[in-house]
Structure 1
Amino acid sequence: MLNNAIIRSGADAIDDKQVEWVSVMENPVENFVRENEFVLTTGIGCFGNKDELMKFVEDVYNSGASVLAIATGRHVFDIPEEIIEFAEKSRFIILEIPWELRFADLVHEIMGHLLINRNKAINRPKEIQEQLIQIILEGRTLQSITDYIEREIGKHILIADEKGEVVSGTADRAVVFSMWNKRVDSVAALEESHHPKYSDVRKIEERNQLLYQFTIKSNGKPKGNFFILTSVDESLSKQDITIAEQATVATALWFSRDSAVVEAEGRMQNEFLLSLVIGENMSPEHIQAHADLFKYNLEVPYVCIIGCPENLGSLIQQQQGRSYSRKTDLEYMNSYIKDGIFYAADSIGRRLLYAFKNDIIIIFLETSATATADTVNQFLDLVERRFIHLLPGVLFSWGVGKRVEGKDNFKSSYQKAKAALEMGRGEFGTGRRTHFDDTQLSSLLLNLAINEEVKQIALSVLSPLINYDDGKGMDLIKTFAIYRANSGNVSKTARELNLHRQSLLYRLRKIETLTGKSLVNPDDLFLLEFAVKLWSTDAITSTK
């Protein structure tokens, strides 16, 4: 219908203009023309007055219209050059259309095209949503989602996880994070559209660039950030925002699926390693199949290290001010602990097997025949330095077992590491590293403490004293320990315990009565002293 129309100005702006509506307008314009309109006029309100027509054109332009089409031949015969010059300078499109062209036909045609475009705009996000779901169902990578969205909106994207690490996208990460880290002063929510979804979108402008940020959420919790980087001249349209929202949801689904897979594999790895350390009866074929699945090499030498976070509960309460559940919070912190441990192992080029049980972490670190202690200390130094950033203020106690080779010896190294941990905490306090081979006496006691028969003998001797102490609060074990430390001197022992001599003698007789052992019989005395020393290492505990 516009074959006979003449473009009088703004020809170079045609590709940049967008038409959202069409209207017929005569003077005065006032506020009846809105942005991106295709305006039709006969110029009848200007009465052939060039100045009036000029003002009319300026008002239409200032209203944000995309095109002004003037029907010439009745009220306007020629468009004045001054108006053409103004429009050309302003990159405003003016069409000269023949008087014979009926406005009703032109409005009908334009509205038909707008309706077609509107339907396409409505269907396009739906088609994109279906394609994103298909990508997820096919198990494709996150980069597949990023590539697809970048093609659809023609912008660069960057996706970061909740730890701020980039996982996908082609946008310049240095620019993205530089703008995002300065967001406090320049960030603005996209509220001008009054669209409920846009309240979750933030826009940052810096120099000639725009950064859009969408929060990736799963189960109501932030899982990362979805960034779109573009120039100021190419800001996102409403449709681009809608598509980006859908991509953010798809990314959250991908994170959830990937997280579920990782968690399932992590649980299987955890259960397998725990089965090894408790000595569960598994066939060699079963062990090897699982080792192959998890890419574990069980033939290289490992040393077991057990760690226990001592003050995690109080730190969480201080920082978050909420009730504390040791099990729940340790599980939540496990990912940070695991990251720090694997980072340290990678830094020294060692393989590492990792498990988590109740309130302790279990590590099997690859070592060598000649440098076990040095390797372990170097590794734990790196771990603790890493924890300063990941878990500031958390105090760990460590127990280190002996080097083992072969899948049949994992239980032995674990037992020695656990015994070393308990002995170290009991003898030296928390926040220390205790190696199984630290001292000859400790090594002897710990070696004996991991023997079940020895444990039972010691407990059979001490159980009467433990049970009596629980009821009376007399601490007979401590009394005996100080009595032996003073070489059986009653006076010194009474002074140290701040007891009357007769009270101490009563306690000593009670020890003999409860245990059935005589404090003057060398064999009985040896057995009592051995059981108390073993108990003092915390390597054995009472089992009522």
Structure 2
Amino acid sequence: MANNNQAGITCGDILLMPGFKEAVVLAGTGGMHRSINRVNVMEVPDVIDWVRPGEFLITSGFPFRDQPEVIADIIPQLAEKGVAALGIKTKRFIEQIPPRALELANQLDFPVFELPASTVFSDVVRDIMERVLVTEARELSLLQSRFQKLSQQLLYGKGIEEFMQTLDGMLNNPIVLLDDSDQLFLSPQAERLEQAKDTALWSRLRLESNLGVSFISIGDRRIRVYVSEVNDKRHEKCLLILLEWNQEHSVVDQLTIDRVGILVGLEMINANARREVELKYIDQFLQDWISGRIVTMEDLRIRAEASGSSLDDYQNMYVGLVRWIVGKPPAKQLLQAVRRLRTKSPCEGLQATLLEGELVILIPGSTQTPQRTTLDRIAEELRSQFGSQGFSLCVGKTVNRPDRVWESYDDAKKINHISAICNYDEPYIDYKGLGVYQLLYHLPDTEEVMSFRDQYIVPLLEYDQKHNSQFYETIKVYFKYNRNLKKTAAELITHYNTVSYRVDRVCEILGINIDDGDDLFQLYLAVKLNEMRPK
């Protein structure tokens, strides 16, 4: 049913107006709160096509003089159209309103008035419209007063928090502001509602409802909310939401929410601009710090204080670098993840940034919380942002001074490189988790090491170059899938028998036995050494 809650007077007010003392409400007394914003005189049968929400429809009964029962047919249609009430003058063209029409009106809470034969329609229109205009003028004055007060607050830099507090007091209902990054701003009354802090509850309104009146469940209460879009020109809709918690929304309340959305949008644009500048400065500081470009502890402390942080000279920290297994997310999504990790950190003191194009997390060490617990929380937060997109968090060693964080970052990069080559896909991995492969990485580039690698790799590369074959690539993928011929063939997009033939030919060229575990292990190590130190 269309919304009748428009500016004007209610059906109940009509009975108190001059000229309506003799009018009788025959049906729909439950709908007497409906507001009226105009009057429409119905003297033609097809009036349904012309009515508008909030109208008080009156008729002399002339269209129904031959068929009074037709009144029953139009009652549901009028209610569906949002008409506020129907007034019918009896005795002249129809003797009485049919009982079936009154029965339907009662079922729909649709007010039906019986107007006395002496009613003059021009007087009805004049009396009601005078009252409507007075009411609308009063509401416009209130709306203007509210808008002026709130605009003055933002003009003098009071900020979103104080703005929400003032709006809360004006409307005597909780208000929620959801920005484009899913950050919540709650009015004082909303702060006291535990469920109102659930971001998912409000972000669903972007997809599940249109702007205007909607319904949500908070605890054991099903309440009406009024949703307005904040005009800040961002990628995601920013919502300003009024909860019908203490009292019913008035028309002016809803108009207030709609109008101040422009003010909120302007303030959010300013706040976002300030935040972007601050974030860029913080990002530059974190990038310089983690990569080791800030040399002395004194310079590090100065930059940290300028970025709103404080550092202890002795503080355990370590770096986590996210390695994407399935595919790297777009830059916009990575930037959103950085902001979310900072604002909704899984642990106190955590920082995040993009460094060399990768998502890097600086994690404080804690004697109270085991590292495994902290990493579990970070992995869970990343899963909530990236869903099924696989990743491993490569964890560098813990350092005990902030000016040595670069050592942990170097470790994380090495672990990232090795784990990618060796196809690790655990949620997080450190050096202990690499097993024998950490030893391979630390082998010096001696003549003996290179000779061991080259005796297996060089013959294959030379053969491939001479015969335009893919023996080296085939054996590399073969080991990647743990010698599974079917999976190797699928990745190389070639026939199973072709892969089997290539593996046999590799063994012939190198003079090794495919059934000898030592021979295969040495070839495997040579391939991994070649991937770690491409020449």
- 1:415 corresponds, among 407, 422, 426, to 407
Quick one: which of 2, 16, 36 aligns to 2:33?
16
Tell me the TM-score normalized by structure 2: 0.55
Partner of 1:320: none
Distance 1:330 1:540, change over 3 A: farther
1:219 Cα deviation after fit: 2.9
Q: Which runs of structure 2 are paired with 1:167-316 in the superposition (5 Å)? A: 167-169=185-187, 170=189, 200-201=211-212, 203=214, 209-216=223-230, 218-230=232-244, 242-277=255-290, 278-280=292-294, 284=298, 287-288=301-302, 290-291=304-305, 294-311=308-325, 314-316=327-329
Measure the CA separation in 1 of the matches of 2:215 and 2:113. 32
The amino acid across from 2:399 in the alignment is: R
User: Structure 1 regions of 5+ residues with no counterpart?
Assistant: 190-199, 317-324, 450-457, 463-476, 486-492, 501-535
Does the Cα contact within 8 Å between 1:419 and 1:539 map onto a contact in 2?
A: no
Aligned to 1:331: 335
Equivalent residue number for residue 388 of structure 1: 383
In structure 2, relative to structure 1, the CA distance for the partners of 1:94 and 1:138 (3 Å cut) is: farther
C-alpha displacement at 1:222, in angstroms?
Answer: 1.1
Alignment of 1:481 with 2:449, yes or no, is: yes
Distance 1:222 1:256, change over 3 A: same
Change (3 A) 1:7 1:17: farther
Give yes or no for contact 1:306–1:399 (8 Å, CA) kept in 2. Answer: yes
For structure 2, list consecutive stretches of 5 or more residues without a partner in the other structure: 1-15, 462-528
Q: Is the 8 A contact 1:307 1:361 kept in 2?
A: yes
Instruction: Give 3-state SS (helix, strand or coil) of 1:498's partner.
Output: helix
CA displacement at 1:414 relative to structure 2: 0.9
Cα distance in 1 between the residues matched to 2:199 and 2:294: 49
Secondary structure (helix, strand or coil) at the match of 1:16 reads coil
The verdict on how the C-alpha distance between 1:242 and 1:146 changes in structure 2, with shifts beyond 3 A counting, is same
- Structure 1: distance between partners of 2:274 and 2:240: 22
1:29-66 deviations in whole A, cap 9, x for unaligned? Answer: 8739956556788x7979xxxx99x9899999886564
How far did 1:367 drift? 3.3
The separation in 2 between residues aligned to 1:394 and 1:14, in whole angstroms, is 56
CA distances 1:116-156 after superposition (whole Å, capped 9, x unpaired) = 44455566656555544444334445455555556666665
Tell me which of 14, 31, 34 is aligned to 2:47: 31
Distance in 1, Cα, partners of 2:432 & 2:413: 9
Q: Deviations over 1:239-292 (max 9, x none)?
A: 665544334444444444443343333333333344445354779489348427
Letter aligned with residue 321 of structure 2: G
> Of 451, 455, 459, which residue of structure 2 is paired with 1:498?
459
C-alpha contact 1:30 1:59 (8 A) present in aligned 2: no
SS of the residue aligned with 2:273?
helix
Cα drift, residue 400 of structure 1: 1.8
Relative to structure 1, is the Cα distance of residues 136 and 402 closer, same or farther in structure 2, using a 3 angstrom cutoff? same
What is the identity, as a one-letter code, of the residue corresponding to 1:9? V
Q: How far apart are 1:415 and its partner, in Å?
A: 3.2
Preserved contact between residue 183 and residue 199 of structure 2 (Cα < 8 Å): no
Q: Report if the CA contact (8 A) 1:420-1:436 is conserved.
A: no
- Distance in 2, matches of 1:288 and 1:102, equals 83
Sequence identity (%)? 11
- The residue number in structure 2 matching 1:489 is none
Instruction: State the distance in 1 between where 2:224 and 2:204 align.
Output: 13
Change (3 A) 1:156 1:397: closer
Show the 5 A alignment for 1:112-127. Answer: 112-119=130-137
- Kept in 2: contact 1:6–1:96 (CA 8 A): no
Q: Cα RMSD over matched residues?
A: 6.1
**Counterpart AA for 1:270:** D
Check whether the contact 1:14–1:93 (CA below 8 A) recurs between aligned residues.
no
Partners in 2 of 1:151 and 1:381 — Cα distance? Answer: 42
Structure 2 counterparts to residues 520-535 of structure 1, below 5 A: none
SS in 2 for 1:263: helix
Give the length in aligned residue pairs: 420
Contact 1:29 1:59 in 2 (8 A): no
Q: Which structure has the greater CA radius of gyration?
A: 1
Give the letter for the 1:335 counterpart.
Answer: R
Give TM-score scaled by structure 1 length: 0.54
Which residue of the partner structure matches residue 513 of structure 2? Answer: none
Secondary structure at the residue paired with 1:403?
A: coil
Q: In the alignment, does 2:378 pair up with 1:404? A: no
Distance in 2 separating the partners of 1:272 and 1:483: 44
Q: CA deviation at 1:389?
A: 2.8
